[in-house]
Amino acid sequence: MALGPETTIGVVGAGAMGLGIAQVAAVRGHDVVIADMTPQAIDRARSAHRTALDRDVEKGRMTRAAADATLERLSYVQGAGELNLGPFAHCGLVIEAIVENADAKRALFADLESVVAADAILATNTSSLSIARIASACKDPSRVVGIHFFNPAPVMPLVEIVPAITTAPNVTAEAFALVHGWGKTTVVASDTPGFIVNRIARPFYGESLRLLEEGIADCATIDWAMRAIGGFKMGPFELMDFIGNDINYAVTCSVFEAMYYDARYRPALTQRRLVEAGLLGRKTGRGYYDYRDGAPKPAAHEDEALGRRIVDRVLAMLINEAADALHMRVASALDIDLAMTKGVNYPKGLLAWGDEIGAAEILGRLESLQQMYREDRYRPSVMLRRVVAAKGRLVG
């Protein structure tokens, strides 16, 4: 099916991601059907859409008439403990945004396939699960593709388009063209664990947690270093608290398992304990930091030499991961750097940043860490070694 402005878009799941995706499509002129199995979720979605569009009107980003028209294009389907998929029969594209569980997604896709037209496209918004595994639940897996938005979907510009090994080329092309037409920055990633962003970003959290666990620096100091010296918008611990430690830990575990327990992606015991204690970050009032009223704000140890040591170590791991993703053909060099700047607001594309610092310097940092720790966690990417041997560049 050719996807165009007249295509009705379906969204399954009325959580934060689902309602955000539905808003993006409706603002761009599509009739949108959004369903959830709980009436409470639908009520929250309806209220959230109205609030978000009212805010856009107040800030001058949208006229009142346009906001009202957008609301008219949104249809809400309430379930009572189970999903009502009947209203999706006329959708040309249905995007799934339910719980991050492969079995739940597979069951949903099998049910959706029996409802929608034979040429309708089915998409999953999974952030790290195998598209091929989800698609295999369908009789025609060629119609299934990954369309991974970032939260909040109306604000974040990046969308990863992820074809499975079974996805038809025209389905990938249609999904890419449609989302690009919505004004999003679109990149194509291979169906590998974490795709581009959630794979390459793991050391931002993992190596920072390692520094914390070793007692090299506390959370506030590491966050200060990554912001003030590294130029990142948020430090790793404040970002994990913002995302939710349960979500961040689950993604790390998913990538670690899917990568056959590669030491590069090993989760941290510190984060596991926070999750077990229910200290999930801002949403629970405590995480790495205490957000409760009156709680003291920890002061960073703003030492330039220590800060530089922190940044150099974390950045070397990030650049190495980006180089390895390029080596393993997860995406093109352009899409890798575009994804990391647009998807997680990194100050520079990591491959270009590696060229700026020098591949030999990054290789030296990693070899020093590997010699010190004797861990495979710090092994340099083959791509990095090749670039150094050829006196070449990671980009270009």
- For the question of residue 160 being annotated catalytic, the response is yes
Of the listed 148, 208, 245, 381, which one is catalytic? 148
How far, in Å, CA of 253 to CA of 261, rounded? 9
Of 96, 113, 160, 321, which one is the catalytic site residue? 160
* Per-residue tokens: 264: 């590069």
Annotation marks residue 198 as catalytic: yes
Asked if omega into 152 is within 30° of 0 (cis), the reply is yes
Residue 213 is among the residues annotated as catalytic for this protein: no
Q: Which of 201, 288, 209 is closest to 251 using CA atoms?
A: 201
Laid out side by side, the sheet with 158-163 consists of: 74-78, 32-36, 9-12, 93-96, 121-124, 144-149, 158-163, 185-188
Looking at 198, 248, 254, 320, which residue is catalytic? Answer: 198
| Catalytic residue flag (residue 170) | no
The single residue of 127, 128, 130, 245 carrying the catalytic annotation is: 127
Catalytic positions, written as ranges: 127, 148, 160, 198
